[in-house]
Amino acid sequence: MPVSSKLLPNIAFMIGAVLALAFAADWLAGWLGYRSMLFCWLLEPMMAISYALGVFLMVTGLIVWAFTFFRNEKPALVALGGLMLTFLPQILPLYLGVTC
């Protein structure tokens, strides 16, 4: 299995795992009576990292797809994955019900 097919899921998992662990720590702190803002504190850097990687993968995928004369679908899928990676941290708080 090529490395490129594992790249996007691994990046998305790492970003999602960091935010999920921060959410779990906030939930546990709230359950113990403390107020924690770890999720909101980590959200902005994760959004910046995700946005930069997503735009890089999207542009690279589109350029490679154009060089193959739009015949190979794998670079197009990398570009689509980069687009989805760009929006991952922005949508995750909505599904978790967190307001920052």
pLDDT attached to residue 5: 67
Has residue 3 got a pLDDT over 80?
no
Q: Are 22 and 64 in contact (CB under 8 A)?
A: no
- pLDDT, mean of residues 62-76: 91
Has residue 17 got a pLDDT over 70?
yes
Has residue 8 got a pLDDT over 50?
yes
Average pLDDT of the chain, as a whole number: 87
Q: Are 81 and 11 in contact (CB under 8 A)?
A: no
pLDDT attached to residue 93: 85
Q: Which is nearest to 62 in space by CA: 90, 88, 47, 83? A: 83
Quote the pTM value.
Answer: 0.78
> DSSP H helical segments within 32-73, as ranges?
38-67
